[in-house]
Each structure stands twice: as C-alpha cells, then as structure tokens.
Structure 1
C-alpha cells in the first residue's frame, strides 16, 4: 500500500501542476498579450510620429525638382570638431546649400530672410558639427543633415526649406 499511495500522491501533484499551468497560460493569453499588443501599437504610433518629424512633413517628399531652388551659402565654414579619443584637435571645412520649395506658401515671405539670417544658419551648422568627432562626422553625415534641417525648419517656423546639401573635408 505504501507504493500505491506514493503513486496516487504523485498523480495528485502532477494534476495540480497541470491545472496551475493551464490557469497561468489563461492569464497570459487574456491579460498579458492584449496589454503587450496595445503597448506595441503605441510604440509604433510614437515611432511613426518621430519619423515624420525627422523627415519633415509628407509634403516635403513630393516636391518636384522644378519647384526646388538651391541657395548656396556665401562662405565656407571652418568648424572645430569635438576631440576624439586621441585628444588631437580636428576641424571640418564645410560648404552648404539649402533646397527651397518655391511652391511653398511661405517662400515669398521667408526666402529673402535666408540671406539676412545667414550668420544664424551658419551658427546652427557649426553647433551641429561641433557635437561630433572627426571619425563620427563622416559616418553620421545623414544624421547631421537631418538635425540641421529640423533646426532650420524650427527656426523659420516653416517647411519651405526641404533639404540641405553639405560638402565637407575633415583634417587634423
């Protein structure tokens, strides 16, 4: 009888564990999974909003080449870059031009302000480049361009500037 009691006791324990397992599975399916799905949906919405802010408004993507005026900045900038691990000073020679949407409702009003605000625009470009080391500048060129574009659109409170072209050389 001792052996039979052990077997029935083990059967009861296994049955209890199976029931606990089913209950926990039901909790996961009905409580955790829907919450996770809602969280993922929220994260996707936030990510798409951030992506729209980085790339500008969707209208920027549809500007035809005939409607773009290139405005070349009048001077080449010499910008001190952040020191790298070697602690050796480095700099970048930067030539910039802006792409302006001539069909934008703000174009006529703001285009003349680009020239009068060149020093402020140059300061924004310098501030962005100074955040990076010589090695990072070449790797993160697109990030730098999008950050400068976002800063310009914020400064002019308009998206009539739809792009920025940067040519640079780095040296120590």
Structure 2
C-alpha cells in the first residue's frame, strides 16, 4: 500500500511538472513571437532608413525601387568645357582651404513615363546640374564630406528631381577626391 501511494504521488508530481512545463512553454512562445515581431519591424525600419532592399533583388544607391540594367542610362555630368571633373574648394574646421575634384554620374530610368520629353532637358540643363553639384558638395566641410557621401548623393538626387520635375533621374553617384 505504501508502494502504491509512493507511485501515485510520483505520478501526481510528474503530471504537475508536465503542466508547469506546458505553461512555461506557452509563455515563452508568446514572448518570443512578440519579441521577434518587434525585432523584425525594427530591422525593416532601419533597412528603409539606410535604403537597403529587404526583399532582395537589385537596389539602387538612392532609390527604394529596383531597376533593370537594360532600363538604365548613365549620363556623366560635364562642365562647359566638356570635362567630367568639377573642382571645388572645401574648408576644414581650421578654415584651411582644400580642393575637391567631383565626378557625378546620373542614372536615368528609360522606362519612366516622361523619359522622352525630359531626356533632352538633362543635356541642355547640364550647367544647372553642375551648379547644383557645387551647391550640395560645398555645403559640406572637408572634415565631413567623405563620411557623408551617401547624404550628398541623396540630397543631389532630390534637388535634381525637383529641378527637372521628374522621377526619371533614378540615382546619383558621386566620386569625390579631396586633397
């Protein structure tokens, strides 16, 4: 009889431990799912901020949408003398002048609805583009220019899209050499 009571008591303890384990597993599962959703949302927001393509595929450096290579056209920004190097002066924190050579390449979306009508305005408005490059790059100091190249590209993209009133300009790539 004592043996049966001990066996019964062990069964009750085992059942209690199984129920406790089940409750703790449910609690753990709900807390992990909740945390995982929050983490996924955070990663998505951060990826959008730094402009990564979370869903995979091709991502341009300044735009959130993908563009096939066959739909792209690149245009070198040129000075009035047809050189692709734009020379600017940048001040450092000690007000010392440094010179920067800037090359800019625009990527145009050939599938854009206004590509045919706006494409010629890009060539004819090249000096306006050069002026915008000067304005954007000169707004940075020597100390901050290289660290903020992606910000420069995004700012220049926005200015050019507003200037030409089109989203045909898909991205801007800046090559910056400072001496």
Q: TM-score, normalised by structure 2?
A: 0.61
Alignment gaps of 5+ in structure 1: 1-47
More helix by share: 1
CA distance in 1, matches of 2:92, 2:177: 17
Q: Show the counterpart of 1:12.
A: none
CA distance in 1, matches of 2:66, 2:112: 12
Q: Show the counterpart of 2:156.
A: 148
Q: Show the counterpart of 2:177.
A: 169
CA distance in 1, matches of 2:75, 2:150: 19
Cα shift readout 1:16-42 (whole Å, capped 9, x = no counterpart): xxxxxxxxxxxxxxxxxxxxxxxxxxx
1:73 to 73, 77, 85: 77
Question: Runs of at least 4 residues of structure 1 off by over 3 A?
Answer: none
Q: TM-score, normalised by structure 1?
A: 0.63
CA distance in 2, matches of 1:129, 1:168: 9
1:93 to 96, 101, 112: 101
Aligned-pair distance for 1:64?
A: 1.2
**Secondary structure of 2:74's aligned partner:** strand
Count of matched residue positions in the alignment of Structure 1 and Structure 2:
117
CA distance in 2, matches of 1:91, 1:114: 27
- Which structure ranks higher in relative contact order (CA pairs < 8 Å, sequence separation ≥ 6)? 1
2:141 to 133, 146, 156: 133
CA distance in 2, matches of 1:112, 1:118: 10
Cα shift readout 1:38-64 (whole Å, capped 9, x = no counterpart): xxxxxxxxxx8xx8xxx55x5xx1221
The Cα RMSD (Å) is 2.0
